[in-house]
Amino acid sequence: MSKPKQTDDLDPRSVDLAKFIQDRSALLVVMGVFAAVAVYITQAAPTIGTSTNPELMYAIGFVSALGMTLLLLYLVYKELAVEAGSWHNLHRAHYRLDNLRLALFSLFNAMLVLSISFLITRYEPVIFILVLVATLFAGGGIVLRLLYYVGGLLPESAWARIPAIFTLSLVTMLISTFVITEYLAGIEISTIHEMSLTEPVPVAIGVAYILVISIRSVAALGVLASFASIPLVAFDKIRGTSPYDNPE
């Protein structure tokens, strides 16, 4: 008995681009708003560059608006993939004669992405600021995610979770401190104006340094939070209002 064909094996159906645009008009409008914000910044700002702090702030807004435009464009294509059944079907749909408008839509969007990417790369310091800020949040997220994961494995008891969080935070803080003192202490960290896309090593060093620093900082907060939570939990226990007594 033959197995049923998978969705990707079926012929891609026609994509009604006009109906799709009508149904997803809100998403396209928001994308247009961010593109308009980017244009507005270029018109309102006296100059956009990276030489002075005001110019850098304008450049950050300009690049962020263009980045949001690209993100929303990805969401548009994600919705198109849902409409076609899968990403593979969407790809195959571009080669159907009755989907000529879809092919032209993608062609013009590809040219748009190429143009936006060129504009963004003109402001390298802004790119590095975004990368370093994202790294800062990523480091904190790693520690918090680890603490939540370990906490979920333990019983719903404050006296089980507080020592575990304290121990894990302390170990993480000590390891990150060791990495900083032994491997990153003697390395010169470049400023964002000294970084370049053509020289990735200083960028990688800066990312590694920010990542380890953020991990150590959040781990140190975990240690302090563990100490601070002991009298709070004890006070709740005395009053009989501890959430651990009635976890539901």
Instruction: Tell me the pLDDT tens digit for each residue of 128-159.
Output: 888 999 999 999 999 999 999 988 888 877 77
Picking from 23, 187, 193, 212, the residue whose alpha carbon sits closest to that of residue 124 is 193
Split at pLDDT 50, 70, 90, the class of 240 is: low
Could you tell me what percent of the chain has a pLDDT over 70?
90
| Residue 1 pLDDT greater than 70, yes or no | no
* pLDDT exceeds cutoff 80 at 243: no
pLDDT over 60 (residue 246):
no
Q: Note the pTM of the prediction, 2 decimals.
A: 0.69
Closest CA to 91 of 27, 18, 11: 11
Tell how far CA 220 is from the center of its chain. Answer: 24
Residue 59 has pLDDT above 60, yes or no: yes
Q: 139 exposed, middle or buried (CB, 10 Å; 0-12, 13-18, 19+)?
A: buried
The answer to whether the CB of 223 falls within 8 A of the CB of 173 is yes
Average per-residue pLDDT for the chain: 84
pLDDT band per the 50, 70, 90 thresholds, residue 195: confident
Domain ranges of the chain: 7-122, 127-239
Alpha-carbon torsion 54, 57, 59, 61, what sign? Answer: negative
13 confidence band (pLDDT: 50, 70, 90): low
- pLDDT of 121 reads 81
- Report the alpha-carbon distance of residue 28 to residue 75 in Å, rounded: 10
Q: What is the pLDDT of residues 165-178, one digit of tens each?
A: 999 999 999 999 99
Q: How confident is the model at residue 10 (pLDDT cuts 50, 70, 90)?
A: very low
pLDDT score of 9 = 45
Return d(Cα 207, Cα 221) in angstroms, integer.
21
**Tokens at residue 134, please?**
């994202």
Q: What is the pLDDT of residue 209?
A: 92
The pLDDT of residue 189: 84
Instruction: With cut-offs at 50, 70 and 90, classify the pLDDT of residue 11.
Output: low
